[in-house]
């Protein structure tokens, strides 16, 4: 079983996808770099969780 993401993570992620969709890809490493440029995320762990969720959503969207 996977970990449950909080509603805050989901809402922040959906806002980022809406605003910056053309810059995001299905690649986790690329999304981490984009998040560093577009958002001021206080911790590395939080950035990685958001980047991972973005990657997961984009992969599900394409299939």
Contact between residue 57 and residue 11 where contact means Cβ atoms under 8 Å apart:
no
Environment class of 47 (CB within 10 Å of its CB; exposed 0-12, middle 13-18, buried 19+): middle
pLDDT in tens, 25-62: 999 999 999 999 999 999 999 999 999 999 999 999 86
Q: In the chain, what are the domains?
A: 13-62 (1.10.60.20)
Average pLDDT over residues 10-31: 97
């Amino acid at each position: 079983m996977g970990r449950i993401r909080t509603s805050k993570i989901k809402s922040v992620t959906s806002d980022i996808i809406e605003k910056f969709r053309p810059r995001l890809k299905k690649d986790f490493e690329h999304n981490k770099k984009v998040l560093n440029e577009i958002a001021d995320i206080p911790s590395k762990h939080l950035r990685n969780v958001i980047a991972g969720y973005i990657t997961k959503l984009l992969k599900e969207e394409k299939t």
